[in-house]
Amino acid sequence: MNFLRFIVNFIFMIVSFILQTTVFRVLDFGGVTPNLLMIFMISTAFIKGEKPGLVIGFFSGLLVDIFFGTYIGFFALIYMYIGYVFGKLHDMFFTQNLAIPIFLISLGDFIFGFICYVLMFLFRTKFDIGYYMTAIIVPEVVYTAIIAIFYYPFILRVNNLIDERELRSAKKFV
C-alpha cells in the first residue's frame, strides 16, 4: 500500500462518512439513509482483496464509533469482519461485471443490518423481526444498492487509475 493509495482511501472514507451523515440525511426515504461506508468498504474489498477490505472496514467502523457508537470498537469489529469475508471473494469473481459487486454490496449491507438487529435489539428482548426487516433493513439495502450502482464504478475507476500509475512507476524503476 503506497502513500497515494492511502491518501485516496482516507479521503474516500471521510467523504463517504460526511455525505452519509449530512447530505443523505436530507435525501432520506422514510427516514432511511444508504450506507455509503459499506459500499466503499465492500467495493474496495472486492477490488483489492481481503487485507485492504479489513483495514478499511476497521477504520470506517472506528469513525462511526467515534461519532455515534456507545462503545468504541463495536462497529469497527462488525465492519472489519464483513470487509474480510467479502475480500475473500476477490479471488473468486471476475470484477468487470457490475451486477456481482452490486449484489455483494446489498448482501453485505443486509448482513450488517441483521447483525445490528441481533446485537442491539434482539438482546434487549425486541423480537418483532418482521417489523425491523420491512422498516429498516430491507429499505436500507435497496437504497444502498441504488446508490452503489453509481458509486461502485467511480471507486473502481479511481482504483484502476492508481493501479496504472503504480504500474508505470514500477516500470520506470526497472
Asked if 9 touches other proteins (CB under 8 A), the answer is no
The least distance separating other proteins from the CB of residue 99, rounded to whole angstroms, comes to: 25
Distance separating alpha carbons of residues 143 and 36, to the nearest angstrom: 10
The least distance separating other proteins from the CB of residue 7, rounded to whole angstroms, comes to: 13
Asked if 77 touches other proteins (CB under 8 A), the answer is yes
Cβ neighbours of 62 (radius 10 Å): 20
Provide the mask over 16-35, with x wherever binding to other proteins is found by CB under 8 A and - wherever it is not. Answer: -xxxxxxx-xx----xxx-x
Cell of 145: 444498492
Of the chain, the end-to-end C-alpha distance in Å amounts to 19
Cell of 117: 438487529
Asked if 55 touches other proteins (CB under 8 A), the answer is yes
Measured from the CB atom, the residue of 99 and 173 that comes closer to other proteins is 173
Asked if 106 touches other proteins (CB under 8 A), the answer is no
Measured from the CB atom, the residue of 52 and 153 that comes closer to other proteins is 52
The least distance separating other proteins from the CB of residue 97, rounded to whole angstroms, comes to: 24
Instruction: Give me the DSSP letters along 70-130.
Output: SSTTHHHHHHHHHHHHHHHGGGTS-TT-SHHHHHHHHHHHHHHHHHHHHHHTGGGT---HH
Asked if 14 touches other proteins (CB under 8 A), the answer is yes
Asked if 64 touches other proteins (CB under 8 A), the answer is yes
Cβ–Cβ < 8 Å for 105, 144:
yes
Distance separating alpha carbons of residues 150 and 12, to the nearest angstrom: 14
Given the rule CB under 8 A, which residues bind other proteins?
Answer: 14, 17-23, 25-26, 31-33, 35, 37, 49-51, 54-55, 58, 63-64, 66-68, 70-74, 76-77, 80-81, 84, 87, 116, 120-121, 124, 126, 128, 131-132, 135-136, 140
